[in-house]
Structure 1
């Protein structure tokens, strides 16, 4: 029997919801491109429930305990006296979400002598030191594609929120005003703008496909160039590097993984090469941007707006400058944890566990590292950049 530690975000301040805004969520039969959704033997939850917080427990607790496993569910993950730190040394499996990550540093991995499997309930496993996991032969898996569309929708929303200056307009309405001139002095149409996509993987392509109908000029950069027919379909211009791309866009969306090459990439030097008054939406990882460089660019007017869903660290401290910098539309890493997205990544997490306990192979698209080397999705996304 295994000991499983689930690190999940806290329940709502008002308490776990007694009811939901909707009675059902739409059923999605397949991902774009025909990839299949998670296929666990059972779900253990009702799709549309709040699963990502402690009381939701990803719908896993009752099932795991019925199988004889020990389950610890906590939101307390920071510092030497945290529940996570205390429970980690004899844990066999650790599960957390990118929105409330259980950071597995080399030091923590060294302490976790029994650790054999790390699961990201969602997408993005950079909160686990992958080199240390490889050295120990720990398997790292994530639920690839489970919330890619959720993040893409959030990205499109934030692009529009920035360009139309929605935050200020809503604030005026909420505060009882009718200051039309004030409300529109920074509001533009997205139509005709040049939109660049940094990294055209699943999320990046979904953003391209959703922004195309707005009549924008689309361009992208990626380590792997997209097929010519795809570029033609969306009238895409390809750039060899992020440095070339940013000089030619009004809006930049960021979808790259956090690696040694992308950390701090959006710095003073790069931001200075963008056209004055550009916008950036970063739902990928906060550390891809130089925190203070973004603040400086907004304060100087080099950037007209910055939105994102990711911070460094997470959760961000109360005094993090991105909370109060001008012309921002930040959210607290919620893009991929809509109730719809939660149903998919909870189901995928259960599928991974079912396969693990049965000794069956984990889907290649879920794998990041296995057997001491990068595997599956990890070989594509992380191996060449680690």
Structure 2
């Protein structure tokens, strides 16, 4: 009887320890299962080719958006052994046009499903050829509009009010007085002519309205009456009319065969001698030789450019030496907020394409 009581007592004392041990074993099994699941998920994660992570490519914050969805390999590392890496790459993520999408590169990527471009312009991509390989092309419209419109207005204002020249005078150790040559031109209530009234052009019009500017625009197709009324814009079916009347001409078109050289000698000659040309589209939209002559001769007052051709310009290019030219190095989308949004959209497009789903922003050849 005493032995039986002893056994019951031992069991009662041992039961919590057994339960604790079983819980530990269960937790261990769960942890092992989770690790195995994560390992499987990591192995299933597709590969993407990028330019690089660093100053010439993706900032760390941008790369962190890509990494949960793709194994990434830089173009430099890829080139070390393309035969090893090429077959596993399913997505090519382009930032600032790199890596350059050439047939020689595409030929090394037999599993490629998508070329996801960061930005709206796809003039650097042969979309029909890429599609012929069974590869989709995507871009990132919409998210770049505000930042690009901002740089357009920043260039317009800086040129009109001689902001850069003013800064140079203000910090020059020899400055003892403010010269009258810093006299600028009025922006408020002037006439802004926008060539290209898509997402970006319309955002520019909104900003122009804030300065009480008269808004003219030329586009392949006319915007709705509601759109026009919202920003106080007037449609010019003939671009020549816009050029003749505008104090500031803002270019916000995509680069196509039709828009290449859109602004040349004849178009510049139609502009007011007090007018300023602002370009936030692509360098090739403007005949730069014609622009140099127009600026040197006083055909137009000034030019403010976020884009040139090539980029950067040769250091001896005449545009760099003209006092009535303001140039920024294609920084229209260069804000961290916009860049992160662009990368997220690139990833969303690429993930959909790799899974065989409809890519949200697929570009179709025209």
TM range (shorter): 0.7 to 0.9
Residues 82-141 of structure 1 deviation map (CA, whole Å, 9 limit, x = unaligned): 9599799655422122x4544435565566554431111222211112232233332110
Stretch moving more, 246-255 or 113-122? 113-122
Residues 282-301 of structure 1 deviation map (CA, whole Å, 9 limit, x = unaligned): 11111111122222211112
1:18 maps to what in 2? none
Alignment gaps of 5+ in structure 1: 13-51, 77-81, 375-382
Cα distance, 1:55 vs. partner? Answer: 4.6
C-alpha contact (below 8 Å) 1:265/1:290 kept by paired residues: yes
2:50 maps to what in 1? 6
1:279 maps to what in 2? 276
SS at 1:367's partner residue?
Answer: coil
Distance 1:321 1:353 in 2: 42
Distance 2:198 2:210 in 1: 19
User: How high is the TM-score relative to the length of structure 2?
Assistant: 0.78
Cα distance, 1:241 vs. partner? Answer: 3.3
Aligned ranges for residues 18-97 of structure 1 at < 5 Å?
53=58, 55-56=60-61, 58-60=63-65, 62-64=67-69, 69=71, 71-74=72-75, 91-97=89-95
Distance 1:85 1:157 in 2: 45
Distance 1:140 1:84 in 2: 26
Counterpart check, 1:367 vs 2:365: no
1:188 maps to what in 2? 185
Aligned ranges for residues 169-184 of structure 1 at < 5 Å?
169-176=166-173, 177-184=175-182
Q: Give the aligned CA root-mean-square deviation in angstroms.
A: 2.9
Aligned ranges for residues 106-117 of structure 1 at < 5 Å?
109=106, 113-117=110-114
2:28 maps to what in 1? none
**Structure with max Cα Rg:** 2
Label 1:314 to 1:106 Cα distance change in 2 as closer, same or farther (>3 A): farther
SS at 2:67's partner residue?
Answer: helix
User: How high is the TM-score relative to the length of structure 1?
Assistant: 0.74
Cα distance, 1:7 vs. partner? Answer: 2.1
Counterpart check, 1:165 vs 2:170: no
Cα distance, 1:244 vs. partner? Answer: 3.1
C-alpha contact (below 8 Å) 1:267/1:290 kept by paired residues: yes
Label 1:265 to 1:334 Cα distance change in 2 as closer, same or farther (>3 A): same
Cα distance, 1:57 vs. partner? Answer: 5.2
C-alpha contact (below 8 Å) 2:90/2:354 kept by paired residues: no
Residues 168-207 of structure 1 deviation map (CA, whole Å, 9 limit, x = unaligned): 111111213254234424x111123211001111111111
2:195 maps to what in 1? 198
SS at 1:295's partner residue?
Answer: helix
Length, aligned pairs only:
319
Aligned ranges for residues 338-357 of structure 1 at < 5 Å?
338-357=335-354
Label 1:174 to 1:8 Cα distance change in 2 as closer, same or farther (>3 A): farther
Label 1:54 to 1:214 Cα distance change in 2 as closer, same or farther (>3 A): closer
SS at 1:59's partner residue?
Answer: helix
Counterpart check, 1:207 vs 2:204: yes
Distance 1:191 1:85 in 2: 58
